[in-house]
C-alpha cells in the first residue's frame, strides 16, 4: 500500500490547493471524472460566462436602436461559439492533467475514491493511505425522474451537457427557477431560441432580495416565456419527432410544451454520497453536506473538506476562500485560520445582471432587525441617463445605529462589478458616510449610481453624530 503525506480528492479547487509550498510533501491527487480541473473550468462558471458574452452582444441591437444606432442581429453560429469556448478550455484541462502527472511529488489517480477508514482510501483496485486527506469533490446537477425521460435521454440535458450540443435548438424548455436556469434562458433566447422557463413555484431566484429579483425576471420575461406553479410530469415523443414536455399545475391541469430539447436545472447534489464517509467517521448533514468547522475540519481528525461538498455556498469564489484556509492550516497546524463567510457575494449573469451581498430586506424583517433602505435608479445618474436606462437600480440596506451596510442588491448592467466596493465596505467595516464621501467617484461613470445610493441612505436617516 502506498502511503502519502497528503491525499486530495477532486481536481477542481483541490488541484489549486497543491502549490509550490507543498513540494516537500508526497501528494496523491484523485479524480473520478474523465475531464481534469473540476466543474468551474469544464462545465460551470467559466464556459457559461463565455456563452453569456456573445448572448449579451446578440441583444445589443435592441439597446442600440434606442440610442439611434442601427445594428442588426443576423443570427448566431452555435458550433463556432461552442468550439471557440471549448477550444480554449479543453487544452487547459488537458494541459493541467499533463502538468500534474509530470510533477515530481504528485501522483494522479484516476477513479472513484472511497474511505476504508479515516486514513485509507480505495480507488478501484488500489488502496492508499495518507496522513491528511482533503475532500474537494464538488457537486453535480440534480436529476429528475418522470415518465418518458429515458426514451428522450438524447435530448434531455443538464448544465453538464447543454453547452456541448451539436446545434442550437429552435425551441428549448427549461425546468427550474434558480440562477442556472436564468442564465441559460438568457443565453439561448438571445441567440435565437424560443425559450420557455417552467418553475414549480411562483418565485424565481429564491434567496435574492425579492424587489431586485422580480425586476430581473420581469425584464428577462420580455424574451422568455415564464410559466409559474407548474411541475414537470412527463415527456413524450410527438408525431413530428419533437419533445412534448408535459407539466401539471397545482390544480392537476396538464399543459403541453413542444420543444427540440429540455434543460433540467432543479438544483445540485453534493458529491459526498459515494465516498463511504461513515467508514472514516466523517459526519454528513441532511442533504449530503459534509459537516466542517470554521477551520474546514471534518469530524474525523486529519480529514478536511471544502467547496460545494461541505459549504453553505455553492460558489467558486467561496470554494477558493475555503481552499486558502485549508492550505494555511495544513502548512501551519499550530496557527489555524478560519474561513470568513460573513459577506459572501453572488451574481446572476442574465439580462439584466443581478448581484447581491449581505441580507435581503425580507430577512431583516423576519429577524426584526432595524434598518434604513435607499434605492437609486440608474436613470438618475449621468451615465444611466446617457444610456436612457429603464428599470435598473441599486438597493442598499443599512443599520441606522452603527451606519454599516447590512445588504446590497443591484439589478442592471455591470451589477456584478458595481457591487464590489459595497462588498469591500462590509468586509472592512466602512461606514456609509465614509464610503460615500471618503473617496472620489469618477464622473460621469456608472459607479456614481452606487455613490448616490449611499447618499440616499444618508438623506433617508442621518444620525446627528455623523455631523459632528
Tell me which residues are annotated as active site.
443
Residue 238: which H helix or E strand, with range? none
Which has the closest alpha carbon to 111: 96, 127, 90? 127
Contacts of 110 (CB under 8 A, 6+ apart): 31, 32
Pairing of strands 230-237, 113-117: unpaired
Query: How wide is the angle at C-alpha 248 spanned by C-alphas 245 and 249, nearest 5°?
Result: 135
> 48 vs 54, 79, 161, 166, 246, CA distance in Å?
11, 15, 12, 16, 27
Give CA–CA dist 401/464, Å, rounded.
Answer: 11
Q: How far is CA 309 from the centre of its chain?
A: 14
Q: How far is CA 107 from the centre of its chain?
A: 30
Give CA–CA dist 260/244, Å, rounded.
Answer: 9
Q: What is the 3-state secondary structure (H, E, C) of 16-35?
A: HHCCHHHCCCCEEEEECCCC
Which has the closest alpha carbon to 342: 297, 294, 296? 294
Amino acid at each position: 500500500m502506498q502511503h502519502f503525506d497528503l491525499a486530495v480528492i477532486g481536481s477542481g479547487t483541490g488541484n489549486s490547493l497543491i502549490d509550490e509550498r507543498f513540494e516537500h510533501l508526497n501528494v496523491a491527487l484523485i479524480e473520478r471524472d474523465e475531464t481534469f480541473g473540476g466543474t468551474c473550468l469544464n462545465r460551470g462558471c467559466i464556459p457559461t460566462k463565455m456563452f453569456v458574452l456573445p448572448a449579451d452582444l446578440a441583444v445589443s441591437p435592441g439597446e442600440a436602436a434606442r440610442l439611434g444606432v442601427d445594428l442588426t442581429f443576423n443570427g448566431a453560429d452555435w458550433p463556432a461559439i461552442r468550439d471557440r469556448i471549448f477550444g480554449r478550455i479543453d487544452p487547459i484541462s488537458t494541459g493541467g492533467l499533463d502538468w500534474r502527472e509530470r510533477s515530481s511529488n504528485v501522483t494522479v489517480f484516476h477513479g472513484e475514491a472511497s474511505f476504508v477508514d479515516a486514513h485509507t482510501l480505495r480507488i478501484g483496485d488500489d488502496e492508499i493511505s495518507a496522513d491528511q486527506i482533503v475532500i474537494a469533490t464538488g457537486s453535480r446537477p440534480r436529476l429528475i425522474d418522470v415518465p418518458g425521460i429515458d426514451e428522450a435521454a438524447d435530448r434531455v440535458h443538464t448544465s453538464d451537457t447543454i453547452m456541448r450540443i451539436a446545434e442550437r435548438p429552435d425551441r428549448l424548455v427549461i425546468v427550474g427557477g434558480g440562477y442556472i436556469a436564468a442564465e441559460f434562458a438568457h443565453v439561448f433566447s438571445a441567440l435565437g431560441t424560443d425559450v420557455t422557463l417552467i418553475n414549480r413555484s411562483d418565485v424565481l431566484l429564491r434567496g435574492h432580495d425579492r424587489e431586485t429579483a422580480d425586476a430581473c425576471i420581469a425584464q428577462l420575461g420580455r424574451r422568455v416565456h415564464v410559466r409559474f406553479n407548474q411541475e414537470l410530469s412527463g415527456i413524450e415523443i410527438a408525431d413530428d419527432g419533437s419533445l412534448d414536455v408535459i407539466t401539471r399545475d397545482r390544480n392537476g391541469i396538464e399543459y403541453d410544451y413542444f420543444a427540440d430539447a429540455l434543460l433540467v436545472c432543479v438544483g445540485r447534489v453534493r458529491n459526498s454520497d459515494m465516498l463511504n464517509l461513515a467508514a472514516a467517521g466523517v459526519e454528513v448533514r441532511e442533504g449530503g453536506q459534509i459537516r466542517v468547522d470554521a477551520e474546514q475540519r471534518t469530524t474525523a481528525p486529519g480529514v478536511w473538506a471544502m467547496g460545494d461538498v461541505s459549504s453553505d455556498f455553492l460558489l467558486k469564489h467561496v470554494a477558493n476562500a475555503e481552499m486558502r484556509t485549508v492550505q494555511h492550516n495544513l502548512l501551519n497546524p499550530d496557527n489555524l485560520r478560519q474561513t470568513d463567510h460573513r459577506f459572501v457575494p453572488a451574481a446572476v449573469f442574465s439580462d439584466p445582471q443581478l448581484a447581491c451581498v449581505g441580507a435581503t430586506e425580507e430577512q431583516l424583517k423576519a429577524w426584526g432587525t432595524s434598518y434604513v433602505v435607499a434605492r437609486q435608479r440608474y436613470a438618475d445618474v449621468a451615465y444611466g441617463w446617457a444610456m436612457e436606462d429603464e428599470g435598473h437600480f441599486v438597493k442598499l440596506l443599512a443599520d441606522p445605529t452603527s451606519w454599516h451596510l447590512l445588504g446590497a442588491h443591484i439589478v442592471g448592467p455591470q451589477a456584478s462589478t458595481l457591487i464590489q466596493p459595497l462588498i469591500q465596505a462590509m468586509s472592512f467595516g466602512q461606514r456609509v458616510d465614509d464610503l460615500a464621501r471618503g473617496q472620489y467617484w469618477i464622473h460621469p461613470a456608472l459607479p456614481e449610481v452606487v455613490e448616490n445610493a449611499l447618499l440616499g441612505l444618508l438623506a433617508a436617516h442621518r444620525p446627528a453624530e455623523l455631523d459632528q
